Amino acid sequence: MTTTEATQPSAAPTTAAGDARGRVAELHAIRAQAVAGPSERATEAQHAKGKLTARERIELLLDPGSFQEVEQLRRHRAVGFGLEAKKPYTDGVITGWGTVEGRTVFVYAHDFRIFGGALGEAHATKIHKIMDMAIAAGAPLVSLNDGAGARIQEGVSALAGYGGIFQRNTKASGVIPQISVMLGPCAGGAAYSPALTDFVFMVRETSQMFITGPDVVRAVTGEEITQNGLGGADVHAETSGVCHFAYDDEETCIAEVRYLLSLLPQNNREMPPDVVGDDPADRRSDVLLELVPVDGSRPYDMREVIQELVDDGEFMEVHERWAANVIVALARLDGRVVGIVANQPRVLAGVLDIEASEKAARFVQMCDAFNIPLITLLDVPGFLPGVDQEHNGIIRHGAKLLYAYCNATVPRVSLILRKAYGGAYIVMDSQSIGADLTYAWPTNEIAVMGAEGAANVVFRRQIAEADDPETMRERMVKEYKSELMHPYYAAERGLVDDVIDPADTRDVLIRALAVLRTKHADLPARKHGNPPI
């Protein structure tokens, strides 16, 4: 239960006798009251916490003057616990639609000044309505979350309201983009709605998400922890992976939501919006020859490679701080949106592990749902070995990425920069699992495993019986490399479509995606698949 002010008068408006002008004047007065909110004191309290009001947030998100509110005059009908004396307009949530860069977006925003943004029956019904409208209209839905959970005074009716939200989140999944922006507390069952959406944004210090709060944790386990330590933005951006983007202030956060929307289609029946840019499609990138060392043991930053390839060096990295050994990002090539999945040699040598597999799999599924072509940049030495990885299900989690790629029907182009070893090579959108076009640089090494490990297995007896085992091992390593790991071995066997000059990579990728733009692929008739979870 929240004690936040909600002091708008509970009595029904008294319609003064008179002409239509009087009625209209009364309407404007009621609307002004609804827009102003419960009290100036409540607004000041919100600002004192470093938070904007719900309407201020909507103004930042949408194009100026475009917001059309729905059910502004809605009030709850609950009684008991003093609720009948507090019946503010909007019931603590503002719903409607507007535009972002001229394209329709639906939005709902919790108003923390009214019942702490807690969800009651009328509050939930408003959200259900706007979600249904977004699905029917085929337009993105953005939720600006700043609520204290279920309105305890309304009992189970409030909990049922959450059920309706979850059901609609699931119905909309893969149909329209759903973006959750966490701008305050989100506790208990309320946290599951953001978890069901495509992207979660958080603001440091002011937003938290957890199922059970610090008090419950302390009572049950004896652990002492703060709200931010338990479920703050940095925790979810770095440790849990619940949060895709974390920012220091609301203004920056909401500006980035607008940018993300510019990279997404309105729904699963449309393509992402194209733009006309100044970056030449055939621009050579000779610097790539220096960025990526030939020596497979030397690290480099894959982000620098991506910057060289995409339009104007701009890309939006998703889950930047979680599972950093793989990069997933949205960018443009020749003005067209692409999704990029890439190993990051700077972190754990770019291996795949449990978290990296989950991160990449979810991103691949999102891109496939919203018609975003996929580019995969490989430099992967394998899956991360270890007892913890095996016991925690690397087989099952790695299979999530395999399933996501195999199930994807969007254009898929893969590029092998250096290492592509073992099962990780197959999983990272190899030609054998359905990549439409596969390219490689002359520095590529595609093999079951590294030459040293392979020589120790294949030539174990010769090495053991040699007078000088170390010299024999070196000789066998060179022989294995020359026979099975030279740059053209895979091309000679049709496992890659071409070996290309790294400087021409941008042009090659753009041409490949252009020819695949009209790709059509049908999956077998089925209710749905049964992916590993």
Catalytic residues: 188-189, 423-424
Q: Tell me how far CA of residue 107 lies from CA of 63, 112, 129, 160, 490, in angstroms.
A: 13, 16, 11, 21, 50
Which residues neighbour 212 within 8 Å (Cβ) at sequence distance 6 or greater? 187, 188, 220
Q: Residue 277 contacts by C-beta under 8 Å, 6 or more apart in sequence?
A: 311, 312, 332, 334, 335
Other C-beta atoms lying within 10 Å of the C-beta of residue 142: 29
Could you identify the residue written with the tokens 């119905």? 171
* 440/184 Cα distance (integer angstroms): 47
d(C-alpha 446, C-alpha 418), whole Å: 8
Q: What residues contact residue 447 under an 8 Å CB cut-off, 6+ apart? A: 420, 421, 422, 454, 484, 485
Who's near 250: CB < 8 A, 6+ residues apart? 51, 52, 57, 60, 183, 203, 206
Residues 6+ apart with CB under 8 A from 145: 110, 180, 181, 182, 183, 184, 186, 190, 194, 207
Residue 23 CB neighbour total at 10 angstroms: 13
